Amino acid sequence: MQAPQSVLRIIDANLNRAREALRVTEEYVRFDLEDRSLTEEFKKLRHSLASALPADIDHLLLSARHTQGDVGTTIATDFEHMRHGTSHVALAATKRLSEALRALEEYGKTFNEGFAAKVEAMRYQGYELEQRIALVEKARTRFRHIRLYVLLTESLCSTSWLATAKAVLAGGADCIQLREKNLGDRELLERTRILSELCHENDTLCIVNDRPDIAILGHADGVHIGQDDMNVWDTRRVLTATAIIGVSTHSSKQAQSACEDSPDYVAVGPMFASSTKTQSQTAGPNILRAVADSTSLPIVAIGGIDETNIEKVLGAARCGICICSAIISQQDALVATQRIRAMIDDFPGDTT
């Protein structure tokens, strides 16, 4: 069935609008969110849209195009010229995409039902991708304010794990990671539930080391994984959509590889020799600086950091500071937390 000129003009205009929206959003997830999975999905959707077109319709669309005679080109609203940052740019593009696909679907029904059905499927894909962008942004936003991140391991605590956790929270920690390699599952799950509740009462994030299953059952905010653990993509399949995923890295190469998998933060370390976690080599502040310069993902410095060397780390990069023994092994974990928190907050150039 031959489409009338008016329908061809509608299809042409909305194809252009959809392609442009897809490209704008793809650039955002590629260069701003640095999310490989989302980038691939938007690229696939662009190609799907192109392949959905009926054969030999391109020349009909071009011949029907009449930009100078389009009465809508001079109509604009103030909103069209306002964008409040890159996320707002992407949000506006996803809204344009859904509108354009809906128009293509409805008018496509008048001359090619197969085309309309393909566009309908793409419209639902667009809705899902818009939601995924929002969830990634939410997880990253939740973590970006983290400045003091404390590792909690009972064997290193000067008192009980629970008393230490309460002291750390009172002292100003933004995030606590429960790191217990040798606990049975039942005990680990119970501690996670208790710690998660405490953290949430104090507006603090709770992260579980290695165990996405324990994290989700224990209502934690996320999980931290190492180089030998489940990868980021598989971990996301286990967790809730808004869960935070962090990855340990020990070199620039590992950090680059981790960033390609789109975690919500990357831990770089050890900064200095650490008695709690030995590594064959020390990453140090220089590697931290290089990693921070290469990605927009939140960065956490970890390993051997204490009051004597924390300023070297703070001077190397804008990042979260992960502390273990220098807080939880001290006789008074509350005071130790407060001192280190003050050093972070008072460091020159730190406005958070």
C-alpha distances in Å from residue 129, one per residue of 42, 65, 232, 323? 8, 30, 18, 36
The predicted pLDDT at position 352 comes to: 45
d(CA 168, CA 334): 6
Of 264, 261, 310, 270, the C-alpha closest to 288 is 270
How far from 92 is each of 9, 48, 82, 229, CA to CA, in Å? 23, 21, 10, 37
Alpha-carbon gap, residue 5 to 1, rounded angstroms: 13
Q: Are residues 267 and 248 in contact, defined by beta-carbon separation less than 8 angstroms?
A: yes
Which of 311, 335, 329 has its CA nearest to residue 275? 329
The domains of the chain, with CATH numbers, are 5-141 (1.20.1260), 145-346 (3.20.20.70)
Q: Give the per-residue pLDDT at 130.
A: 94
Residue 74: predicted pLDDT: 60
pLDDT at residue 71, rounded to an integer = 56
- Ramachandran region of residue 219, left (φ > 0), alpha (ψ -120 to 50) or beta? left
Report which of 244, 230, 308, 297 is spatially closest to residue 271, judged by C-alpha positions.
308
CA atoms within 13 A on the CB side of 96: 20
Whether the bond into 348 is cis, omega within 30 of 0: no
Q: What pTM does this model have? A: 0.77
- Return phi, psi of residue 37, to 5°: -60, -50
pLDDT along the chain (352 residues), means of 10: 82 93 96 87 95 81 70 60 82 95 95 94 95 86 92 97 98 98 97 98 97 97 94 88 92 91 93 73 93 92 97 96 97 98 90 45
Please give the pLDDT value at position 63.
75
Beta-bridge mates of residue 148: 321
Determine the Cα–Cα distance for residues 246 and 262; give it in Å rounded to an integer: 9
